[in-house]
Structure 1
Amino acid sequence: MTQMPIEPTLPLLVRHHVRKAARESGFDVLEDVPQAVLCRSSHAPLVCGAWASQAGGFMVSLSMPSVVATLGVAHTAASPASIPAGLPPMAAVFSIADAPALEQFLNQAWNL
C-alpha cells in the first residue's frame, strides 16, 4: 500500500508567518501538522502550537501553565476545544490579532 503525503490545510502564507515568528522568538524545532505549526525548543520546555483563526488572525496554544498564568492577564483566552488534531494537549489557547501581535506574543511567552 502506498502512503500519500498529508496535504497541509493551513494556508501557505499563514504557515510562513507562524514559522517566521516562532523562529525569531527562539523556537528552533518546528513541525508542520495539517492544520497548524508545532513549535518546540531544544533549549526550553515550552511548546506551542499556532494556526489560523476562523475569525482572522491566529490562535496559539501554550503548554506551560506558569506561562499561561502570566500571559493570560494581557491576552484573550479561547476554548481549548479549538486545538487542531496533531497537537499535543496544551494548558491554554489564545486568540492573536495579526502577524506582528503573533511575534510579540511568542516573544513574551519565550522570555517567561
Structure 2
Amino acid sequence: MTTKTHDEKIAKLTFTSVYPHYVTKVEKKGRTKAELHQIISWLTGYTEKQLQQFIEHEITFEQFFLNAQLNVNAHLIKGVICGYRVEELENPLTQQVRYLDKLVDELAKGRKMEKILRHK
C-alpha cells in the first residue's frame, strides 16, 4: 500500500532524472542502452524518437505515462520492486512507474528479453 504523498512524489519525479540511473544499472550488468529502450518501448509504445525527446526534456513521470499506450501484457508484470508488490498497487501511475522499474531490474539481472517482454 502506498500513501498519497508517495504517489504524488512518484508523479512529480522527472523521467530525465531517473533515466541515467536506468542506463547505469543495465550497462553495469552487461546489458545495452538499446535493450533498455526496447523494454521502455514495449511497455509504453513510444518510438525511439519519442524517447529521445523525453530524455532531452524535463518531463515528469505523470507526463511520460499520460500518452503511453501501455502494452496489453503489462498486467503480467508481477513481483516486488522497491518494497512494493507491483500487481497490488492501486494508483495507476505509481503502478506504471513500478512496472518500468521492474522491467529495468529484470534486464539488469540478466533475464532473457523474451521473458522480460512477456511473450507467451
Give the TM-score band, short-chain normalised.
0.3 to 0.5
TM-score (norm 2): 0.32
TM-score (norm 1): 0.33
Higher strand share: 1
- Higher relative CO (Cα under 8 Å, sequence separation at least 6) belongs to 2
